[in-house]
Amino acid sequence: MATPNTPAAPLVLAILDGVGLAPPSDDNSVWLAHAPFLHSVLRDDFVEGQHAVRTELRAHGTAVGLPSDADMGNSEVGHNILGAGRIFDQGAKQVEQSMLEGTMWGGAWQHVVARGLAGKRIHFIGLLSDGNVHSHIKHLQIMLERAATDGAAHLVVHVLLDGRDVRDGTGDQYVHQLEAFCADLGARTGVTPIIASGGGRMGVTMDRYEADWAVVERGYQAHCLGDARPFMSATEAISTFRAEDPDVSDQFLPPFTVVHADGSPVGAMQDGDAVVLFNFRGDRMIEIYRALTETPFDAFERGPLPANLLVTGLALYDGDLKIPAEFLVPPTRVTNTVSEVIATAGLHQAAIAETQKYGHVTYFWNGNQSDKFNAPLEDYVEIQSDRVPFEQRPWMKSAETADELIQRIRAGKYHFIRANFAAGDMVGHTGSVQAATIAVEGLDISLRRVFEEVRRAGGTLIVTADHGNCEVMVERNSKGEVQYLADGTPVPKKSHTLSPVPFVVLDFTGRTITVNAIERAGLANVAATLLQFLGLPVPDAYAAPAMTVSG
């Protein structure tokens, strides 16, 4: 067995969130950036004199447990699979299987329907798109149909517009699709669901990791109280906002409430109502759940809640916090993750990220649990993200993340340190090639600093990513042709991609590292590789290591 990494010569994993592999182009911010060090890591046999061992990994579709290879990867799924060391069914696939088998319509769903049978409203809150990252419109439609068939008469939908996991500017199309479905459902069953409120996902409701509770407050006021800018329909709201600001992205549309002719809201929450949060991914649903359930509650001035409100989630969002208390689809239980194996072996480890990705290197990496496996052996470091639009500060906290990494390396305490650099993904979502290019340049400087510290310690640096994003910044059709707006400019791409991601090892221990011949290698092959470097046995359930270390 090869000599393992030690606290004096640690194993360091740098996850460049959203940095995928694609050929250089006019919209590939990875290659447009002045990033000589990162470019060397991605392409050269030697990086500043050190031999680089390199392969590519699949980070989307069936390689990460999604229903098909047309499904883009995302940060939650990516970190789940990185930490678990094996492929397991993810959110959308779990939901579809539960619907197909009928297990979804059991206890929690019956509690929801009981409210409807008692004449109360059933509210559905979630992201309205088919991006299949947080939600899927077909899941909402199936639930509305089932609720109407089960006898619930008052169905209310609160829509959050996407523009991030799907093409921007399509929010009205999804609203039209939902309106047509609701009209058809009404004609068939006599129950016509209504759209009562909404807004863009990045400014209304879908905050995460307590980065900005004002986002949740705006959603609470619109959905629960019916207190937002009034319109006669969601379509009118979207068209008005776009007329006022032609450049506004779907994800930043302001909050709105749909009202009757007399100005009263059509779907404010009332005593005894039920609420279904129809996102299957949990990170951006936890805070609105808390706002609708917690007593006492001090994140913002909420006022009294409607009495006896039943709030249910499509999935279990946080098993340790028991959020939500009731959920429709039981989670996949992931045990024996790589961090659990490391902790059980008595080795020290640290996880570092700024707020936007903190849960990814902790909760998601650990198999969907917040608690540490062995608290004295694990340190979690959160760097507070700035509360400004990402394109206005595209370097984000790359430098501070590197600072924390370097501090942990110098401490000589940790066998394994993992860190997420968020900028490639979060700035990539803005659709701004210029901003994403600056983000990559910030990554380049920070990664070089980490490399130099690992070299000084004689350790090992692994560079990878969880999915692609900033390497493809304009929309293309199925033939690969760039799509253009009416003014002749390319349509910005603000979603993740189907690109492979890098897996590069820079080892200063003197060991021999070889790439294993694995057909369609993916993120699941990373965990076994980490355990090999640490000299720990690989669990039988794990996928094969992407690389072998010897000597």
Q: How many CB atoms lie within 10 A of CB 101?
A: 9
What residue ranges in 201-309 does DSSP mark as E strands? 229-231, 256-258, 274-277
| Residue 224 per-residue DSSP state | I
Task: Report which of 346, 354, 313, 342 is spatially closest to residue 330, judged by C-alpha positions.
Answer: 313
Q: Is the peptide bond before 324 cis (omega within 30 degrees of 0)?
A: yes
* The Cα angle at residue 426 between residues 160 and 392, in degrees rounded to 5: 100
Q: How far apart are alpha carbons 384 and 365 in whole angstroms?
A: 19
> Two tokens at 548?
């072998």
| Nearest 10 degrees: Cα torsion 3, 4, 7, 13 | 130
CB 533 within 8 A of CB 509: no
Q: Is 229 exposed, middle or buried (0-12, 13-18, 19+ CB in 10 A)?
A: middle
Q: How far apart are alpha carbons 123 and 306 in whole angstroms?
A: 13
**Could you give phi then psi for residue 190, rounded to 5 degrees?**
85, 0
Q: How far apart are alpha carbons 191 and 113 in whole angstroms?
A: 14
> Two tokens at 213?
């509770």
Q: How far apart are alpha carbons 217 and 395 in whole angstroms?
A: 28
CB 314 within 8 A of CB 95: yes
Length, in residues, of the chain: 551
Q: How far apart are alpha carbons 242 and 2 in whole angstroms?
A: 61
Q: How far apart are alpha carbons 238 and 35 in whole angstroms?
A: 39
CA 498 to chain centre: 15
75 is catalytic: yes
**Could you give phi then psi for residue 92, rounded to 5 degrees?**
-60, -40
Q: Where are the alpha helices (DSSP H) in 221-303?
A: 234-244, 286-293
Selecting among 29, 40, 75, 339, the annotated active-site residue is 75
* The Cα angle at residue 1 between residues 350 and 86, in degrees rounded to 5: 55
- Scanning the structure block, which residue is given the tokens 């984000």? 396
Q: How far apart are alpha carbons 483 and 491 in whole angstroms?
A: 6
CB 92 within 8 A of CB 71: yes
Task: Report which of 131, 213, 200, 188 is spatially closest to residue 160, judged by C-alpha positions.
Answer: 200
Q: In terms of DSSP bridges, do strands 460-464 and 501-507 run parallel, antiparallel, or are they unpaired? A: antiparallel
**What's the distance, Cα to Cα, between the start and end of the chain in Å?**
7
Q: How far apart are alpha carbons 359 and 353 in whole angstroms?
A: 8
* Residues designated catalytic: 75
